[in-house]
Structure formats: structure tokens, C-alpha cells
Amino acid sequence: MSPLIGRAVPRVDGHAKVTGGARYAADTHVPGVTYGTLATSTIARGTITTIDTTLAQAVPGVIAVFTHLTMPRLVTPPSPYPKGFVPLQDATIHHNGQPVAYVVAQTLEQAQEAAALIDVRYHAEPAKVAIDDAPGEEFLPPPGPEGPQEFVHGDPAAGLANAHKKVDATYSSPVHHHNPIETSATVAVWDGDQLTLHESTQSISLTQQIVAQALSVPQNTIRVLTPFLGGGFGSKAPVWPHTLLTAAVARQLRKPVKLVLTRAQMYTSSGHRAEFRQQVTVGAAKDGTLTAIVNISNQQLSRTEQRVFNTSESSWMVYGCPNIHAKQLGVRLDLPTPHFMRSPEGPALVGLEMALDELSYELGMDPVALRLKNYTDLNPENGQKIGNQNLPECLKLAGDAFGWSRRNPTPRSMRDGNELIGWGMATEAHSYHARASSAWVQIDTDGHALARCGTQDIGTGTYTVMTQVTAEALGMPMNSVRFELGDTNFPAAGFSAASVTVSSVSGSVDKAARAARDAVIALAVADPHSPLHGAAPDRIVTEHGFLFLTDDRTRRDSYQGVVSRHGKPVEATGSFLNVPGYTTGASFIEVRVDPWLGRVRVTRAVAAYDIGRVMNHRTARSQVLGGMIWGVGYALTEHTMIDRHTARIVNPNLSGYLVPVNADAPKIEAFFVDKPDPTSPVGAKGFGEAPITGVPAAISNAIYHATGRRIRDLPITQDKLL
Amino acid sequence: MDFLIPSTFAEALAIKAERPEVVPIAGGTDVMVELNFDHRRPTALLDLTRIAELTEWAPSENLLRVGAGVPYVRIIDELGDRLPGLAMASRTVGSPQIRNRGTVGGNLGAASPAGDTHPVLLACDAQVEVASVRGTRMIPAAEFYLGVKRNALEPDELIAAVHLAPAAAPQQFSKVGTRNAMVIAVCSFAVALHPEQGRVGAAVGSAAPTPRRALAAEEFLAGELSDAGLWESPKPLLDSVRRRFGELAAEAASPIDDVRGTAAYRRHALAVLARRTLGWAWQDYCGTGETRSQSCA
Ligand SMILES: Cc1cc2nc3c(=O)[nH]c(=O)nc-3n(C[C@H](O)[C@H](O)[C@H](O)COP(=O)(O)OP(=O)(O)OC[C@H]3O[C@@H](n4cnc5c(N)ncnc54)[C@H](O)[C@@H]3O)c2cc1C
């Protein structure tokens, strides 16, 4: 039987999603629910001097208006809670859009009406909202969970001094926001001292933990449910204040409360990709061998948190270089705390991949050849293999399909009529973490299997892929298997972020399913009524819901037969901790530039990745499509604009914040090396974030090839190309 | 908030006369955005979508009368041959959903300097038919736009239709956006050839407080074309003529810097759009049948 894993199985939840059957947090209907709304600050820094809620309280239907004076006291949870403070606990304002009041009413409209009537007076202090506002204020933050903020290997100064050719340039990108289609929602329902949270989160277990800390209640009194998520991209991986406030308000009022953030509130109530600036210096010998990589970056931090999210591991993980210096500086600004956004490793790689393209021109060397010359599979931190051994194969797969060998490297050498055509490429790379997970599998007397794991499907296809994993391990058809997730009552798993879900969860699901299968085989061979009675368990295989003796396939039983005779379901659990690793690939991009208007269209994208064994070609390809298209936005259009005078975001909506639309999406081809990773029981590596990490650089490099213009400040808007 | 649903235009006009503060709503693609963003809170909405008269188009004397409520999708499908400029502008509006709902009447009602149909209406000498219980009047497009999002309607008036001559010669529209679709114009330009009058209509969008005719460009080109007798025996235009036309078109604008683009970029791009659209239109007029990409810039 051909394996289920790998097949381009359509999404098992697809029908529910397109017919409205999938219930997202905001769709949760709870009898007697009340509606919460946030009133938010209009200054970025200072204190509230007075807050008058009289008019708001008088709006019909208003149940309560909480301010920092009346809000229940909460504990500020430690990291990984990312804010460093809980709003509505004191009068201090840390950023524009910070909640200053929480209104609860019978209807949403009443709550919104009341929120607009709250009169807040501030003592405002001057705010700084851009790196340029705070020259000289950058500092080296203390080590974070990923380690120190500075990495030195070898002698970078000597490496640069000995270089035959050098590139030294500064690359920058603005604040970006995630913009998942589902804005974050929380429905908090208390029953005595038990709390149920219907939540838009990429991590139900983290939500349980952080809410318990904030409310000072035992973790096991909280149940978090996230059966579906309308995209996250990192914005819903941490727990943000609106969740804590909603849980607290619902407890205080003894009423269920629903809060759905508006699109505009998403721009200040969850994280963002910090404004980023990096000076990249690379040197190479005549033959292209890198002699030094130096990446000194600076990025926005908030005044209440100093964790660095745009990290530079690509400086030492992708290319072998004897001399490396990476330094991650930060500068505190009066903005919300930044966080990770698919992918936090992207911004640094974008600079490196643009610098390498520049270096290839300095050296007169093909950019692919330059990368092949230097790629490494060894981590200089510890000398261990990192799983980057198939980058050359990715470069070849994608490069051949793209037709890279036909490229004339001279800028402005390719035209079609009036349009300039450019081809560019970049390596793509992302690490994935190790996360423990557990799963439970039950085989019922009707021969159906139910698998459960407290993981999430953030739109990436967890339901589908884990149904495949379970079915394959059991030897059952997919339609006999049901996989459930998104409930903290299920065995725990980690967050669905950092490209870790499949790599982590597939291990425990596979183990639990195999244990359940083995238990059924054990029942069969011990059962005098089974045709398999007395057989050696290791001579039995399971396929299509049946158990066969390998030596004599006429002796067979079925899951249904064995378990129904047993009279009760068979269950088993499995736990797994995946090995962390690194996933790389390459993207090749064609652009067409209208030189008179500076208009860029990305017309073709070809990419290849080593993601271990491809679990599902359809969902894997979807990750590439999403990453590529988002990379077009990153390179050409996306930019959160913050007014320097008012510290307000001026484009907090999908009309002003320009994500790519269909007409911006190129034709995309995706290839996979498809070799099982030996550290995973099912062969999976982490994937998800790698596609996008190099795309902006590949586009910028293609624009250089088309026009001869090197634009190092993203996004590359049309005015910059005139 | 009241939601008033007249079923005839007369009924709608009566309501508007009695309650001039009510906000008409056609496709709602501007009105609903404004309500959503809390930019306005009308006491009542006047729904025009049940009024059959507004959703019809028909020949009227030697013009076409297009009801204010005809959605873009129908202009594209049904009038693409007779009103090619308007159809081109309609194709660039929003997305299919917006083109299904949005109307020229709504574009005029909103009177945004960035509305896509305005340069075409100006270049084609359209007349806006407005009505009230007091009667009906025709306002030339060039007199309709008074300021940023301000038009010549009196408080008791509604837009009934636009009147345009079926195209006797090529028309072109082009728009620069910040992405390839679903964008408010950074700037736009329309040109319409009027050989019977020996002149050319030209107008800029999204580059001044109102959409504007590029009068100096129109006059320059009319002079060049008739001096050289090109209307009667068309020949390819000199590059210098197209360039000068572009420069004059750009000079008609008084753009500002905003989130979508800088004033300098707008001026530059307008010159390019004007030069190109004229090139395409003139090439069609010459009947060379060459493809656009070979002729542009
Ligand atoms: C996602 C999106 C994309 C868009 N893209 C574009 C674009 O690319 N180009 C563009 O030009 N516009 C665009 N728009 C704006 C809008 O779609 C257009 O302006 C459209 O023409 C409005 O028509 P409507 O029928 O929906 O108007 P409505 O929203 O119903 O009305 C608009 C205004 O006109 C008034 N009004 C409507 N009908 C009459 C009437 N008969 N008499 C008097 N006043 C009237 C209303 O009171 C209101 O002030 C977009 C809007 C959205 C939401």
C-alpha cells in the first residue's frame, strides 16, 4: 500500500471552513454573553491625569466600565508574556493604542458607543517612534532565550582586511504587521472557579499558563479551546493583554464576556515586526570563499521589554565562514512591544542575501556559485551538523526549473518591449525549535480511531497531516480516523510557531498510534476467536483497517473485529521531543519593471526546500505560496506608517497597509528534496517559516538585475526606482 | 438610524427634500466604509437600490444616458464598446465584489479626487443629470467637482444619471496604484479624441484637490493636430509632441505628498501616463493595429 504520508490529501477541515461550519473563537455562542470593547490611549507616552466615565456609564445596556482605578488587580506574568506590564493597572501610558478602559455592555454597539464617550485627559510626554528619533540610544540587550546578543567567531577584522573584495552596506525595513484575516477574539466563561476561554491563539497551553499567572489561579482551573484559527503568523503566539483583561472582567462580573479586537486594534494590541536596520559587511577571497561576515543590527524595542525578535542566526548558520561577527542592538521606543512575525529570522537574512548578491557582482561570480562555494552544514557555535546538507540540491532543483543558466548577469540586459526584466535569487533559511508533545489515540469497538493532541491548526494543515500520520501508523483508511486538537484537556503540546508543529507533534501522534495498534495486535493474538490467535505479534501487519499475518495473508482480522470482541475501546498515549534543526531552500524570482513609472511586477517565482519527508505535498506547497506572496508584500508594498508627531499608526487597515492582492501574486512553482529526516520517526523537519525569509532579497536582487538600481531600504516603492 | 427604502425616484426626491440630511446609499462601497470607520453617523440612510430608473441606461438623443445606479460590472459588460474610456476606468475599480456593487453615481456622490471615473467623465465632456422636487438640471462634469469630496449638488438633490456621447474615436484611461489591484489611485489620466470637434479631452485624477481637466495640454494638442492636418490624414505623432503633451498634463496637477506617493512622483507619473495614453489612443486612431507595448512611452 502506498503510504498516506506524503500524499497531497485535501484538507480534512476544508469543507467545514468553506461552508461556515468551522467555529472560530468569535463565532462561539454562549448564552447570556456580554460584549467587551477597549478604549485605547491617544498618546504614546505619559500618564492619565483624569478619566471620566460618567457618560459612558449612562449609555443604555452598559454593564461596567473598568479603568485603571477600578480594574481588578492582576499580576504581570513573567516572560514569555511579552509586554512587561498589564494595562489598566496604573496611569502610565507606554504606547499609543494601549487600553485605558474596558467597557462591557449587553450589545457590541452599546459597548462601542460607551467607549467613545469616555473622556481621558493625559499628561503627555514627547514620544519617540522611529529608530531615527533616538540616535545614539541603541544598546546591547542582555541575553535572551536564544542566547547572547553578540556572536563572534574567529577574527572578523582580519577576515575583512584579507578580503579580495568587500561589500559594506546598510539595509533597512520598516515596521510590519501580521494582518491575519481573523482578528483576535476571546470569549471568557466562568463556571464557579472554572474558566473556559474560547481563544484565538497559536498556543492553548501558553494561554492557560499566562492567564493563570495573571489571575493567580491554578492552571488546571482554566480550559482553553481553539478548534480553528484564522491565521496567526506569530501575532497570536504570545498571550496579549486583551485576553487577561477579558478573563478578569468576566470573573469580576460573573458573566461571560466576548471581546473581538477591531482590525485597527490589531495594530497595537498584538505584536509587530520591529523596524530593523543592519550594517552588513562581507568579504571574500578571489575564488569567492567568504573571509568574513559582519552583521551589526539595530531594531526597535519597547520601554517595557527588551527581548530581541529579529535575530541574526543566518549570519553563522547558512554559510561556513571562519570569521563572523553578529551583534543585535536594540533601541527603546514608545511603541508596542514587537514580537515575532513570520519569520523573525527573515530580516537579517534579507540583508545578508542582498549583500551576497552585491558581492557576486564585485567578484564577477554567479550568485548561485557564490552560495554553493560557501554553504555549510556545521554550526560554528558547537561544531555540530545543522541539517543544511541539501542546500546545493535545492539550488539546483529551483535554479534548473527557473532556467537560471540562461541568465545574462549584466544589469539592464533583459527586456521585453519597454519593460526591463530581472532575475534574482536568494537562499531561504529558518531554524525550528524542539518542543515536547503528547498525544492520545483510541480505537473504538466500531473500528474507528480518535486521536487527540493539545496542539493547534493555525491554517497550516495540522488536522490533515496528523490524520494522515495517525491513519498510516494504525494501518487504517483516513476516513476511519478523526483527529482533534485545540483543547487543553487533551495531552499537551507546544505552541504552533517557530516552525515546530509538524516536527514535534507528528512524533507523539505516531507513537501513540503505534502503541494503540500494538495493543490491538496483542489482543488479537491472545483472542481464541481471532484468526490470528497464537501468531507472533511481530508477524502481523495492519492495512486498510485490517490485521494480516505476513506469512499467510488469508489469516486476517480487523480492528473492528478485535476491539468489538474485546468489548471496550483500546487506548494508548505517546510522547515525543523532537530534535531542533534548520531548514533551508532557495528562491528564484523574475521581475518586470516599468522604468518610466518604477512599477515592479513579480512575474515568476520558483523555490525548492529541504523539509525532510514531505508530509503532504498540498499543504507544504501552500506554505510556499503564502511565503512567496507575502515576500512580495515585504519587498514592494508593506509598511506600517507611524506619524512621527502623534505616534499614531496612520494605516491600521487593509486599505492603507498594502498586502499583496491576487493581481500581485506571481506564478509560483515549489519543489522539495523529500528525503526523510533521520531524527524524526516520520521523517519530518520543521517547515512553515522558511519560505519568505529570502524572498524580499531575491526580489530586490532581481530589481537590481533589471534596472541596475540597488534599493537597500524596503519596501521598494515605485518612487524609489525613478 | 432610519433606513428609508423608496421604490421610485420621485419618492426618493420627496424624502430628500423633506430631510436633506439623509445620506443616499447606492452600492454602499463608500458609505459603508465611512460608517464602519465612524467617519459619519447619519440620522438616516436613503437606499437607492430599489429604484429601477436609476439602474437603467439608454440612448437619449445623440447621447447615452447612464443611470446613476448602474454598477461598474454592467458598464464593462454592456457599454464597453460605446463608452470605452468609462469601461477602462471601471475595470480598474477595486475588485469584482466592488465592481458588482459600486456605481458611477456613487463615485460622483463621493467626489473623491481619486475616484477613477472622474478623469474620463471630464475628458468625455460628460453631463451630470441631477434632480430634486424642484426639477432637473444638467451640470457639465467640469463644473461638478468643487473641492476635496465636495460636489455641486444642492442638499435636496440626487444624481439621476450621467450623459455621454458614444465614443466616435479612441479613448484611454490609465492609473498608477501602489499595488496591482484594490488600490486608490496615486494618480490617473484620461484622454478622449474628439475628431468631429477637432479637439482632444484630457484630465488628471488624484493629483489635485479635485479631478481636473488639463486645459493647456488639450489646447496644445488641438493646435498641433489641426496645424499638421493630422485629423484628416493621421500620421504617427512626433515624440516631441507627446512629450510636451505629457509635460503640460503634469502641469495641470497640483499634487501633494501623502501615504500613497509624493507630489514629485505624481507629476512625473502623470507626464508618463499622458504621453502613453495619447500614444495608444492616437495609434488606434491611425488604425495601425500595433500592440500597445510596442508603442508606449
Ligand atoms: C475595497 C474598495 C475598493 C475600492 N476601489 C476603488 C477604486 O479602485 N477606484 C475608485 O474610484 N473607487 C474605489 N472605491 C470606492 C467606491 O467603490 C467608489 O467610489 C464607488 O463608485 C462608489 O459607488 P457606490 O455605489 O458604492 O456608492 P455609495 O457608497 O453608495 O455612495 C457614495 C457616495 O455617493 C452618494 N450617492 C450615491 N448615490 C447617489 C445619488 N444617486 N445621488 C446623490 N448622491 C449619491 C452617497 O451618499 C455617498 O456619499 C473602493 C471602495 C472599496 C470599499
Domain harbouring B27, CATH code: 3.30.43.10
pTM for the whole structure? 0.96
Q: What is the C-alpha separation between A70 and B283, in angstroms, rounded?
A: 72
Read off the pLDDT band of B241 (50, 70, 90). very high
Quick check: is A508 in a domain? yes
Residue B269 with chain A: CB contacts under 8 Å: 597, 718
- Choose the residue to mutate in A655, A658, A662 for probing ligand 1, maximizing ligand atoms within 8 Å of C-beta: A655
Question: Which long-range contacts does A545-552 make (Cβ < 8 Å, 24+ apart)?
Answer: A545/A447, A545/A475, A545/A476, A545/A477, A545/A480, A546/A475, A547/A475, A547/A520, A547/A521
CB-CB under 8 Å, B294 with A663: no
| Inside any domain, residue B68 | no
Cβ of A191 under 8 Å from any chain B Cβ? Answer: no
Residues A571 and A623 occupy one common structural domain: no
- Asked, for residue A18, whether it belongs to a domain, the answer is no
Is the pLDDT confidence value at B292 over 60? no
Contact between residue A712 and residue A170 where contact means Cβ atoms under 8 Å apart: yes
Q: Which of B22, B104, B123, B9 is nearest to B66 (CA)?
A: B104
The answer to whether residue B98 sits within a structural domain is: no
CB of B113 sitting under 6 A from ligand 1: no
CA-based nearest residue to A685, from A582, A576, A574, A577:
A582
Distance in Å, CA A376 to ligand 1 centroid: 56
Q: Tell me, what's the pLDDT at B290?
A: 43
What distance in Å separates the CA atoms of residue A63 and residue B170, rounded to the nearest whole number?
Answer: 64
Predicted confidence band of residue B295 (pLDDT cuts 50, 70, 90): very low
Provide the CB-side half-sphere exposure for A25 (13 A, CA). 33
Q: In the structure grid, which three cell numbers stand for residue A614, read together?
A: 514531505
List helix spans (H) across A302-458.
Answer: 314-317, 346-363, 367-374, 391-402
Whether the predicted pLDDT of B296 surpasses 80 = no
Distances (CA, A) of B84 to B60, B76, B188: 18, 8, 16
State the cell numbers at A329: 542592538
Collapsing DSSP to helix, strand or coil, B208 comes out as: coil
In a domain, B197, yes or no: yes
Q: Assess whether pLDDT exceeds 50 at residue B64.
A: yes
Query: Within this chain, do residues A402 and A457 fall inside the same structural domain, yes or no?
Result: no
CATH number, residue A82: 3.90.1170.50
* DSSP 8-state symbol, A665: -
Rounded to 5 degrees, what angle do the CA atoms A376, A377, A379 make?
95
Place of cell 502623534: A646
The residues, ordered by sequence, that sit 6+ positions from A649 with a Cβ below 8 Å of its Cβ are A96, A97, A264, A267, A268, A640, A641, A642, A643
Put simply, the answer to whether B180 touches A637 (Cβ < 8 Å) is no
Q: What percent of chain B has pLDDT over 70?
A: 97
Choose the closest CB to A601 out of B176, B180, B265: B180
Q: Do A339 and A308 have their domain in common? A: yes
Residue B178 has pLDDT above 50, yes or no: yes
The string of pLDDT tens digits covering residues B91-124 is 999 999 999 999 999 999 999 999 999 999 999 9
Give the one of B33, B181, B184 whose C-beta lies nearest to A663's C-beta: B181
Whether the CB of A596 is below 8 Å from some CB of chain B: the reply is yes
**For chain B, how long is the longest CA-to-CA vector?**
62
Q: For this complex, say whether ipTM is above 0.90.
A: yes
Closest residue to atom 8 of ligand 1, CA basis: B93
B-chain residues near A662 (CB < 8 A): 181
Domain of residue A332: give its range: 276-433+580-721
Contact A636 B179 (CB under 8 A): yes
Q: Which SS3 state, helix, strand or coil, does residue A570 take?
A: strand
Q: Which of B269, B58, B76, B257 is nearest to B174 (CA)?
A: B269
Contacts of A596 in chain B (CB under 8 A): 272, 297
Q: Are strands A546-549 and A99-105 parallel, antiparallel or unpaired?
A: unpaired
> Cell 527573515 sits at which residue?
A346
**Cβ–Cβ under 8 Å, residues A198 and A209:** no
Nearest protein CA to atom 47 of ligand 1, as residue: B24
pLDDT of residue B289: 43
3-state secondary structure of A31: coil
DSSP string, B239-265: HHHHHHHHHHHHHT-----BTTB-HHH
Q: Element (H or E) spanning B160, and its range?
A: strand B158-164
Ligand 1 atom closest to the Cα of residue B32 is: 29
Q: What is the pLDDT of residue B288?
A: 55
Q: Provide the total of helices (H) and of strands (E) in chain B, helices listed first.
A: 11, 14
Q: Do residues A423 and A450 both lie within one domain?
A: no
Same domain flag for A397 and A313: yes
- Ligand 1 centroid to B31 CA: how many Å? 7
Separation of alpha carbons B214 and B192, rounded Å: 12
Task: Give the pLDDT confidence score for residue B291 in this predicted structure.
Answer: 42
Instruction: Assess if residue B79 is contained within a domain.
Output: no
pLDDT for position B119: 98
Any domain includes A39: yes
CA distance linking residue A633 with residue A657, whole number of Å: 10
A459 contact partners, CB below 8 Å, separation of at least 6: A229, A230, A231, A232
Are A689 and A558 found together in one domain?
no
Print the domain residue range for B40: 1-48
The b-or-e profile of A406-425 (16+ CB within 10 A means b, else e) is ebeeebbebeeebbbbbbbb
- Shared domain for A422 and A282, answered yes or no, is yes
Q: Is A281 in a helix, a strand, or coil?
A: strand
Alpha helices in A13-107 (DSSP H): 14-18, 54-58
β-pairing, B44-47 vs B23-25, is: parallel
Three-state DSSP state, A79: coil
Q: Which residues contact A89 (CB under 8 A, 6 or more apart)?
A: A68, A71, A73, A74, A76
At A355, is the secondary structure helix, strand, or coil? helix
Instruction: For residue A305, give the CATH number of its domain.
Output: 3.30.365.10
Q: Output the CA–CA distances (angstroms, integers) from residue A78 to A86, A243, A248, A336, in the order listed.
A: 11, 16, 18, 17
Nearest to B178 by CA among A80, A657, A672, A700: A657
Cα–Cα distance measured from residue B198 to residue B226, given in angstroms and rounded to the nearest whole number: 7
Q: Which residues of B touch A719 (CB under 8 A)?
A: 261-262, 264-265
A283 shares a domain with A226: no
Please enumerate in sequence order all residues whose Cβ is within 8 A of that of B269, keeping only pairs 6 or more positions apart, or say none. A597, A718, B176, B186, B187, B261
The catalytic residue positions of A are 689
User: Rounded CA gap, A461 and A487, in Å?
Assistant: 17
CA separation, residue B206 to residues B114, B176, B263 (Å) = 4, 10, 11
Closest by CA to A649, choosing from A248, A262, A103, A87, is A262
Tally the residues of chain A.
722
Distances (CA, A) of B66 to A144, B110, B113, B141, B151: 65, 18, 21, 14, 19
User: Domain count of chain B?
Assistant: 2
How many CB atoms lie under 10 A from the CB of residue B190?
34
Does residue B183 belong to any structural domain of this protein? yes
Shared domain check, A425 and A337: yes
Distance (angstroms) between ligand 1 centre and the Cα of B206 equals: 15
In tens, the pLDDT along A299-311 reads 999 999 999 999 9
Residue B294 has pLDDT above 60, yes or no: no
Yes or no: say if A535 and A555 are a contact pair by the CB < 8 Å rule: yes
Residue B293: per-residue pLDDT: 39
Judge whether B191 lies within some domain: yes
At residue A47, the pLDDT reads: 98
State residue B169's pLDDT score.
96
Same domain, A485 and A588: no
Backbone dihedral angles phi then psi of residue A98, each to the nearest 5 degrees: -70, 140
| Euclidean distance between CA atoms A420 and A592, whole angstroms | 6
Alpha-carbon dihedral sign for residues A702, A707, A712, A716 = negative
Cis peptide before A312 (omega within 30 of 0): no
Task: Give the domain CATH number at B278.
Answer: 3.30.390.50
Which of A556, A577, A598 is at the close of a domain?
A: A577
Contacts of residue A710, Cβ cutoff 8 Å, sequence gap at least 6: A354, A358, A700, A704
A501 and A466 share one domain: yes
A379 shares a domain with A243: no
Are the beta carbons of A338 and A306 closer than 8 angstroms? Answer: no
**Assigned domain for B231 exists:** yes
List, in order, residues 6 or more apart from B93 with CB less than 8 Å away. B72, B99, B102, B116, B117
CB contact under 8 A, B179 and A641: no
The count of structural domains within chain A is 3
Where chain A has pLDDT below 70, the residues are 1-2
Share of chain B above pLDDT 90, in %: 92
Provide the number of CB pairs (under 8 Å) joining chain A to chain B. 57
Taking an 8 Å cut-off on Cβ atoms, the answer to whether A717 and B182 are in contact is no
User: Average pLDDT of B278-286?
Assistant: 96
SS3 call for A158:
helix
B25, part of any domain: yes
> CA A342 to CA A458: how far, in whole Å?
13
